[in-house]
Amino acid sequence: MKIIEFLKYIALGLVQGITEPLPISSSGHMIILNSVFGKILTANDMNNFQIITNFASLLAIIFYYRRLIGQIGAGSWYYITKKKAENKKDFLYLLYIVIATIPAGIAGVTIKLLELDVYYTNIVCVGICLFITGNLLLFSHRMAPLAEREEITLKDSLLMGGAQVIGLLPGISRSGVTTSFAVGNKVKLDKAFRFSFMMYIPASIGAAIIGMYDLIKQKNISDSVFVFGYIGAFIASLIGTYLALSLFFKLLKNKNLKYFGYYCIIVSIIVIFLIALGIF
């Protein structure tokens, strides 16, 4: 095993895991770090690598929200089978999650079939999109005091579902862009982020299935893919996501969202500067 290369994969997985729950774009940070490491992953490999590590994040998020998921699932079942009025909210919440997932699902499959992702999975796109993400987070921070609605509606679902398509771009934070649309529609910040993470679950499951298929269909997979690196990155991402998720909501209670916005803008400026110098 190549120890240095293995450690680089671990670092990529850990960064993905830590940044996945944070509204600062995990895909963007992985591309930046991959550039620092001398592009050990090609654009196509990076997409598959992100899908694998995102699956680890998915497991961590499911575990973190296990009680809420159980409540929504059980409540929806009781409403469908027994028509219990008190469970209608759970059923509608699940329905809105499904509706919000559809746009990104269609876009994701189209992008994968046409192999369009190789055109924008690059450091230039990340630099531009991080700047956009930073401004979206500052917008959400300013609008948050005016957003008092707690319940998610069909309109919120459609808005956040459309926003999630934009979140497919590396450098655009999926949770950041979907939450900014919800907060702009007067949904409370914590409720918007919670729904955003619920939206992430079915979208990530679909992406993981596509990614696994791509890896399995490759011939001589042991030669083309650094298996131990992928496994290490998967574990690092799993642990990093859970720890970051636990910390994030504590930060959110202290209204620290603006600092994530400033961070994205600063990183964007640094990346663009390094591109201009020819370093990236």
Span 42-74, pLDDT tens digits: 777 777 788 889 889 999 999 999 999 999 999
The pLDDT assigned to 1 comes to 56
Hey, what amino acid is at 178? T
Tokens representing 17 are 């895991």
Question: What's the number of domains the chain is made of?
Answer: 1
Centroid of chain to Cα 226: 24
Instruction: List strand residue ranges (DSSP E) for the chain, in order.
Output: none
Q: Which residue has the higher pLDDT, 206 or 262?
A: 262
Of 221, 179, 199, 230, residue with least CA distance to 5: 230
DSSP 8-state symbol, 218: S
Instruction: Using the CB atoms, write b or e for 265-276: b if 16+ within 10 Å.
Output: bebbeebbebbe
Domain of 124, in residue numbers: 3-277
Query: What length is written for the chain?
Result: 280
What six digits make up the tokens of 164? 């999630």
Q: Is the pLDDT of residue 220 over 60?
A: no
Contact 198, 156 (CB under 8 A): no
Query: Where does the pLDDT of residue 115 fall: very low under 50, low under 70, confident under 90, or very high at 90 and above?
Result: confident
